[in-house]
Structure 1
Amino acid sequence: MTTLGCSASDVTTLQGFLGSTANAAGLSQFLCSKFDGVSSQMDATTFAVNNTYLLFSAYLVFAMQLGFAMLCAGSVRAKNTMNIMLTNVLDAACGGISYYIFGFAFAFGTSSHTNGFIGHYNWGLVDIPNTNFDYSFFLFQWAFAIAAAGITSGSIAERTQFVAYLIYSSVLTGFVYPIVSHWLWSTDGWLSASKSLGPGSLLFGTGAIDFAGSGVVHMVGGIAGFWGALIEGPRIGRFDKTGNGMVFRGHSATLVVLGTFLLWFGWYGFNPGSFVKILVPYAGFRGNWTGVGRTAVTTTLSGCSAAITTLFAKRLLDNHWSVLDVCNGLLGGFAAITAGCSVVSPWASIICGFVSAWVLIGLNRLAARLHYDDPLEAAQLHGGCGAWGLIFVGLFAQKNYILQIYGGADDRPHGLFMGGGGKLLAAQILEILCITGWVTLTMAPLFWLLKRFHLLRISPEDEISGMDVTRHGGSAYHHHDGSDHSTHLHSMNGLKRPDEGPTGNYAGV
């Protein structure tokens, strides 16, 4: 904030009333001491407001874990509900430990020898808080890291061993994701749009703009999920012997809609919260608070546009109105706008959502043709729509918004369709290629090794019976899938299964 100051010259106009210059100097000294006190309090207040804003945003992003859990639970069959919800809990827990010990240091650790590829300081939050970071910043970034891990868990749902979740989640949040976030979000990162070395050090004079993580979060989680699902293979019965796809519907549209709205709510911390500070004045722009509001609006419009486009597109293509497809389309619009939410106009965000809906529909059809099985469409939604979001920035980013967020000279490259040339688009495409290559290089071998040592996929018997019963000691519900004929017949005849306790529920529930 602007500092306050005064001197004797500031009160010379009152000299006629004060009687002498000495009196004016004395009054000036008195007033300045008061102003210094007020200025100090304003600095403290500014810090408190900014940290409160960041903490509140972190809480919203963390609440998205509940949204992921509900979305995943509703998208799988009832017999695997407890399993998928437990994996979401463990994503957050394992991610918390690994990001604390290693992840934050790899992502944002700064020292005199920090390089553009990886950070290597602040292990276990040593020397934090400091002039660069406070604890609130760590919490905010941890919430982002576990969001990436949650995306991956949806791709490999209903057929994955529990130990595999623990291993991949720790590696993704503690190493793979932090490296990418260092490239883009650290002031030392080689792809960063706000490098501390100045505009001349930026890639193509602009760096890659990924404001809240279409690439850093969504592509990382989506591509990791793609390799996990591809190496693991489809669920038993998902495709018949002739290659025709069999519909495996999730057991609860209610949970899917609930999860979607929780994620929507959390996105208002995800995108606007990425400003980190709200009390940062910009002459002519009304401060960060205007950028925060604009970001919330563009986020909203992109999701709405994607949802409506999906609704009518699926009606045209499949002759039905599907709430499940609309929910996924909505989330695809959010994933796409996340990169450019702060640097595009509201009208452009509607285009972003419209295109993202068709990207998701097209990738889903391609996945079915290639016999690729992703229960939550996570790789297509987050990976595909996230990549489109990065390209969208290179086309529609506005110069005045880029200067507000990232600074730089008036000739800084911006969106191709906005008259800013192709340099920003080139940087965005390079980000897509680098993220794809990095995640493939790290996560594909990890999933292959898990499969090689029989740690990836559960047994066919467990997969057919459902992991809630075979691995987690019971069912999430007091009733069971219609496919569980033995339970249904026993209940019809008032009998109990051998593995049921005295109340009729599975023993151990």
Structure 2
Amino acid sequence: MEVSWEASVTDSINTVYLLFSAYLVFVMQLGFAMLCAGSVRAKNAMNIMLTNVVDAVVGSISYYFFGFAFAFGSGSASNPFIGTDYFALKDIPNSTYDYSYFLYQWAFAIAVAGITSGSIAERTQFSAYLIFSFFLTGFVYPVVVHWLWSSNGWLSPSSSNLLFGSGAIDFAGSGVVHLVGGIAGLWGAFIEGPRVGRFDAFGKPVPMRGHNATLVVLGTFLLWFGWFGFNPGSFDKILVSYPTTTDQGNWTAVGRTAVTTTLAGSAAGIATLFGRRLIVGHWDALDVCNGVLGGFVAITSGCSVVEPWAAIVCGFFSAWVLIGLNILALKLGFDDPLEATQLHGGCGAWGLIFTGLFAKEEFVVQAYDSGESGVVRPYGLFMGGGWGLIGCQAVEVLAIICWVSITMGPLFYALHKLKILRISTEEEVAGLDISSHGGYAYVAHPDEGHPRFYADYMRLQDQRT
């Protein structure tokens, strides 16, 4: 069939836009690496950077062979719970986008394992990391993608059989990406237990601050930059005209989505800045960085369907969700070095509920029906849209928690029982870099020259021989 010149140009521009968005999301891997490296102690910096590299390389293979098929597989054997067509690029609106769409979805997939790695940092055997990263990227995460982002998914807002007449709105993945990674990290950190020395004999927390605030701030800004591909890029075709207008299309929604993303992160950062000042008595740059990221996580679900003022509300409350969960975690003796469970899990869940409260009908129709006139959809409860959407959002939260718990929980427990999950106490005290990676990340490590460094090193050598 002959393709018109206009259609060819449109397809080309849409493909370039989607590829550019994929590149932005991939830059987030660098942001994760810098954030994680700065948030751990210097003796574990090499290890955490290697895990971020592994997320990309292992995730590429597992998502190519298995994950993409589970996420977007379709055909005669397809069902609402899991895709089935292996090694096939299916369920994509236009076959022109097969490879670029795969790359974009792959960039999302490798981010999930990076979230979980922060929860189990500084005490996990590298072999165990390889196993769970492959399983999470190749199976656990893609199944959730199929539920929400495949037209066959039982929770999808694009399905022909909408749950509660609505389907759940998770536009860029507060639940699909962040809640999945957060709950997986919750089980990993819980089964492993806290790091040596994190809590004293009376159960009181002992500070274990990261070694490099500069890397944390750098990582935060790189993630901020990448989020402009994460959220606005989820409009996988930018050149879409709405049928009843001459001056509106996806390009207007793309700009608004970038604005809501920015405002939510900024509001969360300000709320965290002053909130932590009241609690701890000083201004803390690292807490603000996590607050900003919490705002981004929360708005990721509803970024395309809410007004900018609502995004500020989203960010403000996400900051207090994060602060409250961090306080609760310490009281319960839960140790997550990067606050990944609280940040991605807690703020991700809040983002889904927020969308069910504040989604605007006009924007919902824009995002999911290309602005078609006469379409009626449930929208935010506080905006007068009834209970359909908020009900779907609550179902998504519960479904993800249950699915990730019944898959990742037993996996981490099995690794624990096989004694391949957590490193020994001696290795943890010495640091993963020297025990597993041949040396520290820095030439002039703070512990070098200290007698304890040499004692730990020699003890480990004796154990190996």
Q: TM-score, normalised by structure 1?
A: 0.86
Deviation at 1:113, TM superposition (A): 2.8
Contact kept in structure 2, 1:184 and 1:208, CA below 8 Å: yes
What letter is aligned with 2:400? I
2:188 is matched with 228
Deviation at 1:411, TM superposition (A): 3.1
In 1, the alpha carbon distance for the partners of 2:38 and 2:454 equals 25
- Residues 310 and 410 (structure 1), Cα distance of their counterparts in 2 relative to 1, 3 Å cut: same
1:278 is matched with 238
Deviations 1:450-471 (A, max 9, x none): 0000110001111000011111
Contact kept in structure 2, 1:101 and 1:124, CA below 8 Å: no
1:58 is matched with 22
- Residues 304 and 456 (structure 1), Cα distance of their counterparts in 2 relative to 1, 3 Å cut: same
Deviation at 1:109, TM superposition (A): 1.1
**Helix, strand or coil for the counterpart of 1:293?**
helix
Superposition misfits of 4+ residues, deviation over 4 angstroms: 124-130, 487-490
Deviation at 1:347, TM superposition (A): 0.4
1:29 is matched with none
In 1, the alpha carbon distance for the partners of 2:228 and 2:401 equals 27
Deviation at 1:59, TM superposition (A): 0.4
1:178 is matched with 142
In 1, the alpha carbon distance for the partners of 2:391 and 2:98 equals 34
- Residues 88 and 159 (structure 1), Cα distance of their counterparts in 2 relative to 1, 3 Å cut: same
Instruction: Please list, as runs of the form range in 1=range in 2, the aligned pairs for 1:482-493 lying within 5 A after superposition.
Output: 485-486=450-451
1:372 is matched with 334
Instruction: Please list, as runs of the form range in 1=range in 2, the aligned pairs for 1:326-405 lying within 5 A after superposition.
Output: 326-405=288-367
2:285 is matched with 323
In 1, the alpha carbon distance for the partners of 2:447 and 2:140 equals 41
In 1, the alpha carbon distance for the partners of 2:248 and 2:62 equals 39
1:467 is matched with 432
Deviation at 1:410, TM superposition (A): 3.8
Deviations 1:5-37 (A, max 9, x none): xxxxxxxxxxxxxxxxxxxxxxxxxxxxxxx99
**Helix, strand or coil for the counterpart of 1:229?**
helix
What letter is aligned with 1:429? A
Deviation at 1:134, TM superposition (A): 1.1
In 2, the alpha carbon distance for the partners of 1:193 and 1:63 equals 29
User: Does 2:229 correspond to 1:269?
Assistant: yes
In 2, the alpha carbon distance for the partners of 1:161 and 1:155 equals 13
1:411 is matched with 376
Contact kept in structure 2, 1:480 and 1:487, CA below 8 Å: no
In 1, the alpha carbon distance for the partners of 2:218 and 2:8 equals 39
User: Does 2:103 correspond to 1:143?
Assistant: no
Deviations 1:192-228 (A, max 9, x none): 0011x2xxx1000000000000000000000000000
Deviation at 1:405, TM superposition (A): 1.0
- Residues 483 and 477 (structure 1), Cα distance of their counterparts in 2 relative to 1, 3 Å cut: closer
What RMSD in Å do the two structures reach over aligned CA positions?
A: 2.1
In 1, the alpha carbon distance for the partners of 2:65 and 2:91 equals 13
2:443 is matched with 478
Deviations 1:282-334 (A, max 9, x none): 14361100000000000000000000000000011111100000000000000
- Count of residue pairs brought into register by the alignment: 453
Deviations 1:173-208 (A, max 9, x none): 00000000000000000000011x2xxx10000000
Deviation at 1:129, TM superposition (A): 11
In 1, the alpha carbon distance for the partners of 2:105 and 2:123 equals 30
User: Does 2:60 correspond to 1:100?
Assistant: no
**Helix, strand or coil for the counterpart of 1:123?**
coil
- Residues 394 and 132 (structure 1), Cα distance of their counterparts in 2 relative to 1, 3 Å cut: farther
**Helix, strand or coil for the counterpart of 2:95?**
coil
2:421 is matched with 456
In 2, the alpha carbon distance for the partners of 1:395 and 1:302 equals 16
Unaligned runs of 5+ in 2: 460-465
- Residues 483 and 352 (structure 1), Cα distance of their counterparts in 2 relative to 1, 3 Å cut: farther
Contact kept in structure 2, 1:122 and 1:128, CA below 8 Å: no
1:421 is matched with 386
Unaligned runs of 5+ in 1: 1-35, 491-496, 500-509
Deviations 1:33-57 (A, max 9, x none): xxx99x7111111111001000000
1:120 is matched with 84
Deviation at 1:498, TM superposition (A): 8.2
User: Does 2:207 correspond to 1:247?
Assistant: yes
Contact kept in structure 1, 2:74 and 2:90, CA below 8 Å: no
- Residues 124 and 410 (structure 1), Cα distance of their counterparts in 2 relative to 1, 3 Å cut: closer
Identity of aligned residues (%): 66
In 2, the alpha carbon distance for the partners of 1:132 and 1:156 equals 40
User: Does 2:176 correspond to 1:210?
Assistant: no
Contact kept in structure 1, 2:73 and 2:88, CA below 8 Å: no
Deviation at 1:231, TM superposition (A): 0.3
In 2, the alpha carbon distance for the partners of 1:417 and 1:351 equals 13
**Helix, strand or coil for the counterpart of 2:248?**
coil
2:395 is matched with 430
In 2, the alpha carbon distance for the partners of 1:92 and 1:484 equals 35
- Residues 128 and 181 (structure 1), Cα distance of their counterparts in 2 relative to 1, 3 Å cut: closer
1:163 is matched with 127
In 2, the alpha carbon distance for the partners of 1:44 and 1:498 equals 66
Deviation at 1:422, TM superposition (A): 1.2
Which of 1 and 2 has greater Rg? 1
In 1, the alpha carbon distance for the partners of 2:218 and 2:321 equals 24
Choose between structure 1 and 2 for higher RCO, CA contacts under 8 A separated by at least 6 residues.
2
Worse overlay, 467-476 or 115-124: 115-124
Instruction: Please list, as runs of the form range in 1=range in 2, the aligned pairs for 1:72-111 lying within 5 A after superposition.
Output: 72-111=36-75
In 1, the alpha carbon distance for the partners of 2:28 and 2:181 equals 15
